[in-house]
Copies of this chain bind each other. A is one copy, B any other.
Amino acid sequence: MGKQNINTIGVMTSGGDAPGMNAALRAVVRASIYNGLNCKGIRLGYQGLIEDNIFSMGPRSVSNIINRGGTILKTARSKEFTTKEGRKKAYENLKKNGIDALVVIGGDGSFTGAKIFSEEHDVKVIGIPGTIDNDIFGTDFTIGYDTALNTVINAIDKIRDTAQSHNRVFFVEVMGRDAGFIALNSGIACGAQDILIPERKDKIEEMFDSMERGRKTGKLSSIIVVAEGEELGGVYDLAKFTKIKYPDYDIRVTVLGHIQRGGDPSCADRVLASRLGIAAVEGLLQGKTRVMAGVRSNKIVFTPIEEAIQKHNEIDQELIKVSDILAR
């Protein structure tokens, strides 16, 4: 029996998948082994816990996954786990498999589940933030966010080729229902003429102003990046309004969609995931529970999982100013 009475760690990925989840899983497995513990993988998130979809993992079971997108444990959303009965089944399977502590790699929905489960059944649990949206409090970056940014800019770079060739205006919708991190950073990185995000209550007139400013300096084509959660009515409506205002513009719309969730993880995401996977195991061994492992100012920090769920990272006002200054 290891320190803190932990002998076996269970690990799952839950909620939406994100590039780097496999790297985090690998780190959890290898850090467990390094610390003399057993590690068991739980497939398909909480639903797999309920259905006893659980298996032992050794060092080689996570070979050659650090560079793969998605998650080899798969992920799912589980209605049953939102019920008391479901969580009871999950707990019984935890005991049956000798799992003493749980590492949950996912987003805030998954952490809410972890928190309730942990309180109800006194299960030790640590969360690892895995989501492309970067909208989790307690860490400067979530796993998958950096990769998604690079996927988005590579896509917009391609769109820019065709925008320039035709002197077109492109509205590009990127992910981020509640948070504009992807839109703001990718928009700056692609030289967007304007960036519409939920955190900034733009008026459509400001977008038109920006477009006219660009036009005056000789800009012939432009890209407007729109977060899916912005509130002016969606990317197609924006295009429509713009066409009414500027009938001579050649306007196109592209919704990037699910390509943003996949792809080989970037170096930053692989390293972040590796660090957080180890930190989660070491946190459990130090007696931590109901916390999330994160990175702030490049240091590992643990945040109460409740706080991680309730609070939100705020958009950096400096970046908004950067985007304004550069859209000339």
Q: Are A254 and B257 in contact (CB under 8 A)?
A: yes
Whether A204 sits at the interface, judged by CB under 8 Å, is no
Report the bound CA distance from A191 to B271 in whole Å.
10
Q: Give the chain B neighbours of A58 by CB distance below 8 A.
A: 217
Q: Give the chain B neighbours of A270 by CB distance below 8 A.
A: 153, 188-190
Q: Give the chain B neighbours of A157 by CB distance below 8 A.
A: 67, 262-264
Q: Are B167 and A74 in contact (CB under 8 A)?
A: yes
Whether A64 sits at the interface, judged by CB under 8 Å, is yes
Q: Give the chain B neighbours of A219 by CB distance below 8 A.
A: 60, 63
Describe A's contact surface by its main secondary structure: helix
**Mind listing 19 A-B residue pairs with CB under 8 Å?**
A60-B217, A63-B219, A64-B160, A64-B191, A66-B190, A69-B158, A149-B267, A150-B267, A155-B259, A157-B264, A158-B258, A160-B262, A161-B261, A162-B262, A189-B267, A252-B258, A253-B257, A275-B319, A278-B321
Whether A76 sits at the interface, judged by CB under 8 Å, is yes
User: A173 to nearest B CB, angstroms?
Assistant: 10
Whether A142 sits at the interface, judged by CB under 8 Å, is no
Whether A140 sits at the interface, judged by CB under 8 Å, is yes
Q: Are B322 and A274 in contact (CB under 8 A)?
A: yes
Q: Are A161 and B322 in contact (CB under 8 A)?
A: no
Q: Give the chain B neighbours of A59 by CB distance below 8 A.
A: 217-218, 328
User: A25 to nearest B CB, angstroms?
Assistant: 12
Q: Are A275 and B318 in contact (CB under 8 A)?
A: yes
The 10 residue pairs across chains A and B that have the minimum distance between CB atoms: A158-B262, A161-B262, A70-B161, A69-B161, A297-B297, A17-B165, A189-B270, A149-B267, A70-B165, A254-B257
Identify the interface centre among A191, A264, A275: most chain B CB within 10 Å of its CB: A191
Whether A238 sits at the interface, judged by CB under 8 Å, is no
Q: Are B255 and A255 in contact (CB under 8 A)?
A: yes
Query: Contact check: which of B13, B217, B298, B326 meets A274 at CB < 8 Å?
Result: B326
What is the number of residues of chain A that contact chain B, defined by CB distance less than 8 Å?
88
Known: A17-B166, A71-B165, A262-B157. A328 touches B30 (CB 8 A): yes
Q: Are A153 and B255 in contact (CB under 8 A)?
A: no
Q: Give the chain B neighbours of A267 by CB distance below 8 A.
A: 146, 149-150, 152-153, 185-186, 189
Residues from 22 to 52 in A contacting B, C-beta threshold 8 Å: 23, 26-27, 30-31, 33-34, 44
Whether A207 sits at the interface, judged by CB under 8 Å, is no
Query: Contact check: which of B68, B140, B186 meets A161 at CB < 8 Å?
Result: B68
Whether A301 sits at the interface, judged by CB under 8 Å, is no
Report the bound CA distance from A276 to B303 in whole Å.
30
